[in-house]
Chain A
Amino acid sequence: MIAKVGLDGHDRGVKIVARCLRDAGMDVIYTGLHRTPEEVALAAVQEDVDILGISILSGAQMTVFPRVLDLLRDRHGSDIAVVGGGVMPDEDVSELKRMGVSEILLQDTPPQAIVESMRRLVRERGPR
């Protein structure tokens, strides 16, 4: 599941990610714009997704990701790998990984590299 959370409407990246994963044969759900952390976490659990990717270009990453991770824990969705994407400073990237975000894809990540890192995340988690 690929999601846009918050008010930011920059969807260039998220659509490229959705499309390259779809073209690689994965089932992709794109939530559309302006979702809340609650909506996204709930949908991810209900849809039983492997990976929840959230794109943020508004600078709100340090508010959104901790909230989504908490919500997933509360809803027994801790085995869903959370992946971030967007424009953010390096210190936020390392802090988010420390909090439990599995991967952060920054701008100009080639589509092939995105596909490979998603496959790796699912492989590392193992069968559910």
Chain B
Amino acid sequence: MKETNEAQTVDKLAEQLQAWEGREVASFLARQPERQEQFSTLGGFPVKRVYTPLDVQNIPLEDVGLPGRYPFTRGPYPTMYRGRRWTMRQIAGFGTGADTNKRFKYLIQQGQTGLSTDFDMPTLMGYDSDHAMSQGEVGRGGVAIDTLSDMEDLFAGIDLEKISVSMTINPSAWILLAMYVALAEKRGFDLDRLSGTIQADMLKEYMAQKEWIFPIAPSVRIVRDCIAYCAERMKRYNPVNICGYHINEAGASPLHELAFTLANTIVYVEEVVKTGMPVDRFAPRLSFFFACGSDFFEEAARFRAVRRVFATIMRERFGAANPASMRLRFHCQTAAATLTRPQYKVNIVRTALQALAAVLGGAQSLHTNGMDEAFSIPTEEAMKIALRTQQVIAEESNVANVVDPLGGSYYVEKLTDQYVRAIQAILKEVDERGGTVKLIEEGWFQRKIAEDAYETALRKQSGEKPVIGVNRYVEEEETLDLEVHPYDPRSADRQIDRTRQVRANRDEARVGELLQRLKAVARDESQNILPVTVELVNQGATMGDIVETLKEVWGTYRETPVF
């Protein structure tokens, strides 16, 4: 009976829609055509004039579901921001550990609820500050960390059981994790009470961000070791933060960002499962990181979609049984590539809209970019405004009082469903072509990302993709009242002195012995690399000592660029 009624309603609606198009729409169009022949999202999905129940009639209600319940389309938790708001996590890092420690304390004082650390290029790539390749880059784009002693300075006076700490680090991530563990043990913290994450997502490095040391296989093994180590010893810690952000920033379309991220996820899960660890043992601690771009509804829909696809993969492909293994949690950062130099204050508005979309999409933590990041790393003032933007959304706008307020929107549900299908189609293609690692080696992802980036550049040039201040409302000469973050040239010397001092005061024979053991562990795939690394950093080994030793075993990676 009910079904007949529904069918009648749908038929009726279809008739009404047709009549409306024939009358109201047609007569309106006759007087005033629409701005464009066709509309589409920034990600290229066609957009209709209006969405009705007809557009969602084939989407099963259980695909939408309820928050905190499979397939988690509406959010990973049942109460979402009504319980705890998202973590406001502004990234910071420059100079020495002590310099960044000051910025951390400033941000905490301003009401920030999580810490996020940016490292300088040498730290990211595994070089000590006094290595020739580090010249000019020490403490420049992030904080320089060579030894455990630097790490101690970085977190001095901060209660690591109370605040979660994210570390944006990849090829050298396990060394930072080892330092974090060593530091926590020294200061008497309970490892099971530490929360936070290292990024440690190597596959997206080969695809997009291009920070690497070793070839793909040993790099993936290190990721596996981090996941397994944390599952045993740090029950609240996220050992990997699987990233779409950098894939997006490298130019990928919003769809490719999500699909490629999940392709990488599948590899990591497979690798850990191969060690014999059951999927439900570690999957609840997998965490994600996405970019939030400019197409407001598309972004919210995308995040809803990726949660649904992930849940399906974990349950159906990997046989997860614990709902926590199927629940995708993500950090979000507003898209830095959308920031402009001209009329740079407009970046505040751009960022606010992107942040709102991230919140409506159900992010667990959020970084809002500083208005000045098209010039340099942000000043304290720029970071404060960015943080205040989040606070306005959280505390003034009331959007956080209802879970998934866009749920049920015909448009958003339809777009969510379209994204789900499109992501699944790409994952299928990746499987058919032989899997993620093979395709990275062939440059398949890299080529797609480069093509997307080029297309975006052309669309900005033609004005098809409007960017205020760049291809619209351009102002000729701008007097800049901007003060950029100063770089202290002496911080590199200070850092190098510190590292040399640590080397001078350590037991060289003991370090040498441990480095030999490190080599043996590296050669034996069944072992975990973390325990010996923790011992090494405790003995004053530098990041460079560890990395250079492993290069002897594993060699290095060199990319054949595609464009």
Decide if A and B are genuine partners: yes
List A residues at the B interface (Cβ < 8 Å).
6-12, 15-16, 18-20, 30, 32-34, 36, 58-60, 62-64, 87-91, 106-108, 110-112
Residue of B nearest to A106 (CB): B341
- On chain A, the residues within 8 Å of B563 by CB distance are 15, 18-19, 30
Interface core residue of B121, B134, B376 (most chain A CB under 10 Å): B121
Find out whether the CB atom of B375 lies under 8 angstroms from the CB atom of A19.
Answer: no
Residue of B nearest to A31 (CB): B561
- On chain B, the residues within 8 Å of A8 by CB distance are 121, 137, 141
Find out whether the CB atom of B376 lies under 8 angstroms from the CB atom of A89.
Answer: yes
Residue of A nearest to B484 (CB): A89
Give Cα distance in the complex from A19 to B458, angstroms. 11
Find out whether the CB atom of A59 lies under 8 angstroms from the CB atom of B376.
Answer: yes
Count how many pairs of residues, one from A and one from B, have CB atoms less than 8 Å apart in the complex.
106
Number of interface residues, chain B, beta carbon within 8 A: 45
A-B contact pairs, 23 of them (CB 8 A): A6-B133, A7-B125, A7-B133, A7-B134, A7-B137, A9-B211, A12-B251, A15-B454, A15-B563, A16-B454, A19-B454, A32-B560, A32-B561, A58-B121, A59-B141, A60-B140, A63-B136, A87-B373, A88-B376, A89-B376, A90-B480, A107-B374, A111-B458
The 5 closest A-B pairs by CB, nearest first: A63-B136, A9-B210, A7-B121, A15-B563, A110-B461
Contact mask for chain B residues 375-394; partner A; CB cutoff 8 A; 1 contact, 0 none: 11100000000000000000
B122 to chain A, nearest CB (A): 6
B135: Cβ under 8 A from any A Cβ = yes
15 more contacts with CB within 8 A, not counting A15-B450, A108-B467, are A7-B124, A7-B133, A9-B205, A12-B249, A16-B453, A16-B454, A32-B558, A33-B559, A58-B121, A59-B137, A60-B135, A60-B137, A62-B136, A91-B484, A110-B457
Give Cα distance in the complex from A11 to B205, angstroms. 12
- On chain B, the residues within 8 Å of A20 by CB distance are 454, 457
B233: Cβ under 8 A from any A Cβ = no
Find out whether the CB atom of A58 lies under 8 angstroms from the CB atom of B251.
Answer: no
- On chain A, the residues within 8 Å of B210 by CB distance are 9-11, 33
Give Cα distance in the complex from A3 to B457, angstroms. 20
Find out whether the CB atom of A60 lies under 8 angstroms from the CB atom of B561.
Answer: no
Residue of B nearest to A110 (CB): B461
Contact of A7 among B127, B373, B450, B470 (CB under 8 A): B127
Find out whether the CB atom of A107 lies under 8 angstroms from the CB atom of B137.
Answer: no
B516 to chain A, nearest CB (A): 28
Interface core residue of A18, A32, A34, A112 (most chain B CB under 10 Å): A34
- On chain A, the residues within 8 Å of B132 by CB distance are 36
- On chain A, the residues within 8 Å of B20 by CB distance are none
Find out whether the CB atom of A87 lies under 8 angstroms from the CB atom of B124.
Answer: no
B294 to chain A, nearest CB (A): 14
Give Cα distance in the complex from A32 to B212, angstroms. 13
Give Cα distance in the complex from A64 to B134, angstroms. 11
